[in-house]
Amino acid sequence: MRKLQLLAVCVAVAAGTSDAHGGDAAAGEARYAETCVTCHGRAGKGMASFPAIVGRDADYIEGRLRQYRAREQVGPNSALMMSWAETLSDDEISDLAAYISTAFR
């Protein structure tokens, strides 16, 4: 299944159908695997009280990560997300948005 998801990301990026604004989906996948998978799951469906991110477009993902990085309260898990997102660069946010928006449709 993982290979299929990676193939889908590559095809979407190559075809120019990615919602992301120039992010690197492969780098986003690596970053997702390091941290995000713990709460949002391998398929982005969420776990326990952590929300699903399936079907979210790049603009949504980028916007939320920027809000968390700016320490804005946007939901019940904001404190956890703030501490994680404040370490992200603009490029890393774009990379995550590219990966999530294409891999979890």
Per residue in 72-105, pLDDT tens? Answer: 999 999 999 999 999 999 999 999 999 999 999 8
For residue 67, give the CATH number of its domain. 1.10.760.10
**Dihedral angle computed from the Cα positions of residues 27, 9, 62 and 53, in that order, rounded to the nearest 10 degrees:** -110
pTM for this model (two decimals)? 0.78
Which domain covers residue 39, as residue numbers?
A: 2-103
Asked if the model's pLDDT at residue 61 lies above 90, the reply is: yes
The count of domains in the chain is 1
Rounded distance between C-alpha atoms, residue 91 and residue 99, angstroms: 12
